[in-house]
């Protein structure tokens, strides 16, 4: 018998054990600590013995217990970062993707799964109000942003054999770090990112964008692209997409929209994303606000030829002999990736199982939960809301009895104490130099009662700090 092959009975036994573990994890979400009490040394120690020379057979799975015990619960009150809650049907799709092990790079290597991904991408594009856009699924928003900016550079200042010319890219001061990273990776230079100031709601100010472009043009520099943000990571701000698009068009710039956090909310509140379809390229993250398991980013674009200009470097061994539009299609000609996993299985199964309506409703509930938290914070004199809540990120801090100069230090300690209590999990942001607690609702499990618990827990953690008579942890 081939030692790497499993009999059907062995496969079933292992799969059943894994399914039991998965089911247990899901049913115990609420009982688990959101931030497990572990240390770097303890998690490293789990793997200290290295990889075994001889196989452990079923006992191999025994080691999963402490691994799973050390994971974050991902329950209804995990509200840190922009972490989608992991919809279980999507997880089953991911499992099948591994078993099928198709290389979803070209129609001829994985015909049905290539067509499935094309359909998922088209369907999501239409659902966010960008019908006719195509694209591909990516490892996340960062790679989708890198791909969008690669297309921008190739469209507006094509790289030649000698290297790439320089050009200027514009984004708001609230831009996500993946954009400067993309510029650095593309060799455009981080200094060629112009950060445009925002208004009182953290949105890019179009008149300042216009001015910056005009100044660069008169200094002989080459404006390439503008990145508008549709849901900033700190506060959920949506840049004025129509105004930004008009300026981009007037100056012949590529417009990329970073919608990694926010754009999928257009399923529920399209009116907040007016102008999204004016983008040349748009990144979204189904592993954020479509609740899919990581990883499931999306890059959409209006012109597939622009994607091929950026990404098609076909060698002979991959050339398609077919002339049929579908049968000759290859994702690797429109993407950074060559070998590609069947990412589409998760959103496809998950949306077919639940229907788009269920996702629209879940997003609406997240928006409502965020609005509710903002109201509770406004009504609580010990807390201060520090930014409007256009989507589902709520930024606030504890202020009672604290002089301005002590608020940052206190809230930093408060966040650590809050998360250590293990009932809710928030992350942080810095707004105009203020350290703020940040709750982000991209979680299909969160209920209004959970929202109330956020406030109760923040106040309880603050009381612990102040009653201890010290702010040291
Ligand atoms: C606005 C924005 N852009 C890009 C990203 C990066 O996405 P990913 O983590 O999927 O690479 C994030 C992540 O939070 C984000 O909020």
pLDDT tier at 190, thresholds 50, 70, 90: confident
Nearest-CA neighbor of 443 among 73, 173, 155, 51? 73
Asked whether residue 416 carries a pLDDT value surpassing 80, the answer given is yes
Asked whether residue 38 carries a pLDDT value surpassing 90, the answer given is no
Bond from prior residue into 295 cis (ω within 30 degrees of 0): yes
Average predicted confidence (pLDDT) for the chain? 95
Q: Whose CA is nearest to atom 2 of ligand 1?
A: 260
Whole-number Å distance, alpha carbon 236 to ligand 1 midpoint, is 12
Cβ of 343 below 6 Å from ligand 1: no
Are 283 and 298 in contact by the 8 Å Cβ rule? The answer is yes
Instruction: Give the HSE-up count for residue 131: Cα atoms under 13 Å, Cβ half-sphere.
Output: 0
Each residue's pLDDT tens digit, 205-242: 999 999 999 999 999 999 999 999 999 999 999 999 99
Cβ of 297 below 6 Å from ligand 1: yes
Cα 15–Cα 17–Cα 22 angle in degrees, nearest 5:
90
Residue-level pLDDT at 473 = 42
Ligand 1 atom closest to the Cα of residue 144 is 11
Q: What does the pLDDT average to over 163-183?
A: 92
Number of Cβ atoms within 10 Å of the Cβ of 248:
24
Q: DSSP character for 43?
A: H
Q: What does the pLDDT average to over 100-123?
A: 98
Whole-number Å distance, alpha carbon 259 to ligand 1 midpoint, is 8
Ligand 1 atom closest to the Cα of residue 232 is 1
Rounded percentage of the chain residues whose pLDDT exceeds 90: 90
Q: Tokens 């507006």 — which residue?
A: 156
Q: What does the pLDDT average to over 180-202?
A: 94
213 burial via Cβ count (<10 Å: 0-12, 13-18, 19+):
buried
56-65: long-range pairs with CB below 8 Å, 24+: 58/13, 58/14, 58/17, 61/14, 61/17, 61/18, 61/21, 64/21
Report, in angstroms and rounded to the nearest whole number, the Rg of the chain calculated over CA atoms: 24
pLDDT tier at 161, thresholds 50, 70, 90: low
Rounded percentage of the chain residues whose pLDDT exceeds 70: 96
Cβ of 174 below 6 Å from ligand 1: no
Whole-number Å distance, alpha carbon 441 to ligand 1 midpoint, is 15
Residue-level pLDDT at 74 = 87
Residue-level pLDDT at 318 = 58
Q: What does the pLDDT average to over 400-408?
A: 96
Each residue's pLDDT tens digit, 316-366: 555 667 889 999 999 999 999 999 999 999 999 999 999 999 999 999 999
Cβ of 282 below 6 Å from ligand 1: no
Whole-number Å distance, alpha carbon 296 to ligand 1 midpoint, is 11
Domains and CATH numbers, the chain: 92-355 (3.40.640.10)
Phi, psi values for residue 119, rounded to 5° = -70, -40
* Tokens representing residue 277 in the block: 């379809």
Rounded distance between C-alpha atoms, residue 161 and residue 152, angstroms: 18
Residue-level pLDDT at 472 = 43
Q: DSSP character for 190?
A: G
Each residue's pLDDT tens digit, 57-108: 999 999 999 999 888 888 999 999 999 999 999 999 999 999 999 999 999 9
Q: Tell me the CA end-to-end span of the chain in Å, nearest whole number.
A: 58
Each residue's pLDDT tens digit, 257-305: 999 999 999 999 999 999 999 999 999 999 999 999 999 999 999 999 9
Are 257 and 146 in contact by the 8 Å Cβ rule? The answer is no
Residue-level pLDDT at 320 = 66
Residue-level pLDDT at 165 = 67
Phi, psi values for residue 297, rounded to 5° = -85, 170
- The DSSP string of 244-304 is HHHHHHHTT-EEEEEETTTGGGGGT-GGGGTTGGG-SEEEEEHHHHT-PPS--EEEEES-H
Q: What does the pLDDT average to over 124-153?
A: 98
Residue-level pLDDT at 21 = 96
> Residues 6 or more apart from 44 whose CB is under 8 A from it?
none
Cβ of 178 below 6 Å from ligand 1: yes
Asked whether residue 471 carries a pLDDT value surpassing 60, the answer given is no
Residue-level pLDDT at 337 = 96
Cβ of 233 below 6 Å from ligand 1: yes
Are 373 and 393 in contact by the 8 Å Cβ rule? The answer is no
């Amino acid at each position: 018998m081939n030692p790497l092959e499993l009999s059907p009975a062995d496969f079933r036994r292992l799969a059943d054990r894994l399914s039991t573990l998965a089911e247990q994890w899901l049913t115990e979400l609420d009982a688990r600590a959101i931030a497990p009490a572990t240390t770097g040394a303890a998690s490293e120690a789990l793997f200290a013995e290295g990889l075994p020379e001889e196989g452990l057979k079923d006992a191999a799975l025994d080691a999963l217990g402490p691994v799973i015990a050390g994971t974050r619960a991902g329950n209804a009150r995990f509200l840190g970062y922009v972490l989608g809650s992991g919809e279980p049907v999507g997880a089953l799709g991911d499992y099948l993707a591994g078993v099928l092990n198709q290389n979803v790079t070209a129609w001829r290597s994985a015909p049905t799964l290539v067509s499935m991904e094309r359909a998922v991408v088209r369907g999501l594009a239409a659902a966010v109000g960008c019908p006719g856009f195509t694209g591909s699924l990516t490892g996340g928003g960062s790679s989708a942003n890198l791909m969008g900016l690669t297309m921008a550079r190739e469209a507006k200042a094509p790289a030649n054999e000698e290297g790439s010319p320089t050009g200027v890219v514009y984004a708001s001061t609230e831009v996500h770090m993946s954009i400067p990273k993309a510029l650095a990776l593309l060799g455009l230079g981080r200094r060629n990112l112009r950060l445009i100031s925002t208004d009182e709601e953290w949105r890019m100010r179009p008149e300042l964008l216009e001015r910056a472009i005009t100044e660069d043009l008169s200094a002989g520099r080459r404006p390439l692209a503008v990145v508008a943000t549709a849901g900033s990571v700190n506060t959920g701000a949506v840049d004025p997409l129509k105004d930004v698009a008009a300026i981009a068009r007037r100056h012949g710039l590529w417009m990329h929209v970073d919608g990694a956090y926010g754009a999928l909310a257009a399923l529920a509140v399209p009116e907040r994303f007016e102008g999204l379809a004016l983008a040349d390229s748009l990144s979204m993250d189904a592993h954020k606000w479509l609740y899919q398991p990581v990883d499931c980013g999306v890059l959409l674009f209006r012109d597939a030829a622009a994607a091929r200009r950026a990404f098609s470097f076909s060698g002979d061994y991959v050339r398609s002999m077919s002339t049929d539009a579908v049968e000759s299609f290859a994702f690797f000609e429109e993407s950074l990736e060559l070998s590609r996993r069947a990412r589409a299985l998760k959103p496809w199964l998950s949306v077919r199982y639940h229907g788009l309506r269920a996702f629209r409703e879940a997003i609406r509930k997240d928006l409502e939960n965020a609005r509710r938290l903002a109201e509770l914070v406004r009504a609580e004199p010990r807390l201060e809301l520090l930014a409007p809540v256009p989507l589902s990120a709520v930024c606030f801090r504890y202020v009672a009895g604290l002089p301005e100069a002590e608020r940052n230090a206190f809230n930093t300690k408060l966040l650590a104490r809050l998360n250590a209590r293990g009932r809710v999990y928030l992350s942080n942001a810095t707004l105009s130099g203020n350290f703020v607690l940040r709750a982000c609702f991209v979680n299909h499990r969160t209920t209004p009662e959970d929202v109330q618990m956020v406030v109760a827990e923040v106040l309880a953690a603050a009381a612990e700090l102040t009653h201890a008579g010290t702010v040291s942890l």
